[in-house]
Structure 1
Amino acid sequence: MKSSKVISKRRAFGRIPEVVTIPNPLFKSLEGKYFVGQTQILTFGRGTNAWGGLINPKNSGVNLFVNVYTVTNFSGKSFPAKVFLNSLPPGHPLTSRLVSPTNTSRNSIPKVKIQFVRSTMGIPRGGTNVFLRETSPKATLVSEEDGKFIIPPGGSFVIFLAGPRSGIVKSKIAFGWWEEKRKSAFK
């Protein structure tokens, strides 16, 4: 009896479309546009700092959408993590090879690079320090940004780690992001 009532209700309302809602990062992964990666271990302190960032090359042809970042503190001391937009960070950066598309069934290669410096003097030049987070000892700081930071070619999203005055700390920075080809509305 119940199933016949359900059928008659469907007939009364006509065809009801089924709608599926999926999170944007999953949708971007299905398209082969979502990437994840991390720096190598950063070792700094006693007057030195470190950083890791998403660097969008000038000739990339894509906008970078920052979705998530993490800072893992392997040490027993806390240290500040400062987020800089479009700055020039100090030191001679390395490019991480620890990067992958999240949809491994596609042969997607990111245009955006994860770069980092394990230990350096100085602070980022230019750009904007948009906020500060304090990392707890032996913990991971997680910040979900949902793509709200949009970085054009030639820009950067950098996490700058200020070292403690005494002692050495160890950390890693990881990112999740997607890329979209630039359109005239964003140029």
Structure 2
Amino acid sequence: MSNGNYMGIYRTVNIPNSLYQSVEGRYFVGQTGFLNFGCCKNAWGALVNPSNSNVNIFVNVFTISNYSRLPFNAEIWLNSTLPDSGNSSNSVSPTNTTLNPAPCPRGKIVSAQIINGTPVNGVNVFNRIIPPETTIVSEEDGKFIIPPGGNFAIFLPSPAPENIIANIAFGWWEERIRQCSCCC
């Protein structure tokens, strides 16, 4: 019975991939600070994979919170060049907090607010309408894979002559890029 075999029946357990990645120390979460935009000024938050990371980033989930009384549009961009260099967030953590030392993510959450300009290059793959005083959650299950030097960005264009406050959060896992040493 110690191997899960009872009368020829074996026990199997299925767990979500995000839980598996967390147990392995590869799952991370984090958020931007509050982002101010409106009055013809824009904002953005992005999950950035540095060019020297040697990992692929698998975007599992993102959230967008709207603290204002006005709706706004959020544009989701892949591998774009964003206006302004932005600031890195310190609000990032592995989800498995039992590991010692704690794993450090290679990915960075970067954001900018009260800026001019829009993303260039890359692809605006879809948009979301964010209702007033609401948080939307989009579970992507790792289907967006971001290579070194790439990003998964959420651009918030100015919707009105009023100030809007939002924030953006991401959940992701990282997998090391395996280098082929064979002669193919």
Give the alignment's TM-score, normalised by structure 2.
0.91
- Which deviations, in whole Å up to 9, do the C-alpha atoms of 1:41-93 show, x marking residues without a partner? 00110111100010000000000000000000000011110000000111131
Shift of 1:29: 0.2
Task: Name the residue aligned to 1:150.
Answer: 145
Unpaired stretches in structure 1, ≥5 consecutive residues: 1-9
Shift of 1:119: 1.8
**Equivalent of residue 164 in structure 1, options 153, 159, 176:** 159
Amino acid at match of 2:58: F
Amino acid at match of 2:57: L
Task: Give the CA RMSD over aligned residues.
Answer: 1.1
TM alignment of 1:12-27, pairs within 5 A: 15-27=8-20
Task: Name the residue aligned to 1:3.
Answer: none
Unpaired stretches in structure 2, ≥5 consecutive residues: 1-5
Amino acid at match of 2:148: P
Shift of 1:116: 0.2
Task: Name the residue aligned to 1:63.
Answer: 56
Distance 1:156 1:24 in 2: 22
Task: Name the residue aligned to 1:34.
Answer: 27
**Equivalent of residue 127 in structure 1, options 122, 129, 141:** 122
Shift of 1:165: 3.0
Distance 2:65 2:30 in 1: 13
Task: Name the residue aligned to 2:84.
Answer: 91
Q: Point out the structure with max Rg over C-alpha.
A: 1
Distance 1:183 1:133 in 2: 35
Which one has a larger percent helix, Structure 1 or Structure 2? Answer: 1
Amino acid at match of 2:52: N
> Alignment identity in percent?
51
- Which deviations, in whole Å up to 9, do the C-alpha atoms of 1:142-179 show, x marking residues without a partner? 10000000011000000001112310100000000000
Task: Name the residue aligned to 1:4.
Answer: none
Task: Name the residue aligned to 2:174.
Answer: 179
Asked whether 1:51 is paired with 2:48, we answer no
Distance 1:24 1:92 in 2: 33
Q: Give the secondary structure class of the aligned counterpart of 2:18.
A: helix
Distance 2:70 2:28 in 1: 30
Shift of 1:184: 4.4
Q: Give the secondary structure class of the aligned counterpart of 1:26.
A: helix
Number of residues of Structure 1 aligned to a counterpart in Structure 2: 173
